[in-house]
Amino acid sequence: MKKLGILAFVLVAFSSFAQNIQSEFVYEKAPFPSCHASTLAETPDALVCAWFGGTAERNKDVGIWVARKIGEKWTDPVEVANGVISSTERYPTWNPVLFQVPNKELILFYKVGPSPSEWWGELKRSFDGGKTWSAAEKLPQGIYGPIKNKPELLSDGTLLCPTSSEDDGWKVHFEMTKDWGKTWTKTNAINDGKEFSAIQPSILFLPNGDLKILCRSKNGFILSSISKDKGKTWSPLVATDLPNPNSGTDALTLKNGKHILVYNHVTKESMEWGGKRSPLNVSISDDAAHWKEIAVLESEPKMEFSYPAVIQTRDGKIHISYTWKRKLIKHVVIDLGK
């Protein structure tokens, strides 16, 4: 795979956070022209990336594609799931989310259906690190699985899935499973979809044991909420200081307790000239409330760089994947040092 090189920071202050950034495309050629909504997971022997690809979002030929990075090379994309119901009925697939069960299988969550207001959840399992996959398992009615961003494994063995619905306004809720997707419980929506329209939360861990979410919204800002009981109940959503142009974000609590956020820092003013999903920014925080920019991954005006996914691998490096102009999936590695 051809590397795009090492990107240097423009501001000297940034060097205290990151030693270098490396970037590459997950693939250069594929049997589909359009892609979106990537996700990442680290297996015992590879980095795995999944996304949806087809002629265009919402089209019936859109399936879930997977590539694995072995050493320095990505495997060719392979379609591992689609919305084929019968010889005459097919639906688009949406928003894959990968989760590596500790010492067990790799789970691929995804959605199937004509639109986000009508889709349903399915999952597949891989017992060989993403090389082969089980038959699809349809999730119970009303359970979608993690809607865009990765689930988090809590200390009591609960896999907490941040999710949302779009059939009656944009509402956030949470789904829980203790047996890796075989049985489920869920919370009520934490918002009414009227004052705040929120979807696609990501989960952060605070030092006092609380959980915090950051959400995409239609309100012009990233929204947040706090849970003091491991995700069962949540405080009312509030607007943060960070802008959001109705675009997906992702966030992560690092092993050292700091927090990373990847998002489009696009204000309402910049939206007027078409910069809806550019630039794509990375910020860091000590407290998940006050953020400092450490990198701008993309900044070409009027282009789309969106739907980031972020994880931290065993070696401490930060991996980010995102949609590049709806044509390719880009992979970035950030080394923050010690």
The pTM score is: 0.94
Q: In 3D, which of 268, 256, 281 has the Cα closest to residue 221?
A: 268
In a domain, 176, yes or no: yes
pLDDT surpasses 90 at 272: no
**String of DSSP letters for 78-110:** EEEE-EE-SSS-EE-EEEEEEEE-TTS-EEEEE
Domain count, the chain: 1
CATH number, domain of 63, equals: 2.120.10.10
Asked if the bond preceding 245 is cis, omega within 30° of 0, the reply is: no
| Residue 268 confidence (pLDDT) above 80 | no
Q: Is residue 275 part of a domain?
A: yes
Tell whether 11 is covered by a domain.
no
pLDDT in tens, 274-291: 557 999 999 999 999 999
Residue 2 covered by a domain: no
Three-state DSSP state, 220: coil
* 330 lies in some domain: yes
pLDDT tens profile 54-93? 999 999 999 999 999 999 999 999 999 999 999 999 999 9
Question: Sheet holding 3-7: strands in order across?
Answer: 3-7, 20-25, 328-335, 318-324, 305-312
Would you call 268 helix, strand, or coil by DSSP? helix
The pLDDT assigned to 276 comes to 79
| Chain mean pLDDT for the chain | 93
Give, rounded to a whole angstrom, the gap between the first and last alpha carbons of the chain.
Answer: 28
Query: Residue 69 sits in which domain range?
Result: 20-335
**Which residue carries 């923050």 as its tokens?**
336
Task: Compute how many other C-beta atoms are within 10 angstroms of the C-beta atom of residue 205.
Answer: 17
User: Which is higher by pLDDT, 7 or 251?
Assistant: 251
Reduced to 3 states (helix: H, G, I; strand: E, B; else coil), residue 50 is: strand
Band of residue 3 on the pLDDT scale cut at 50, 70, 90: very low
Contact 331, 25 (CB under 8 A): yes
Give the pLDDT band (50/70/90) at residue 4: very low
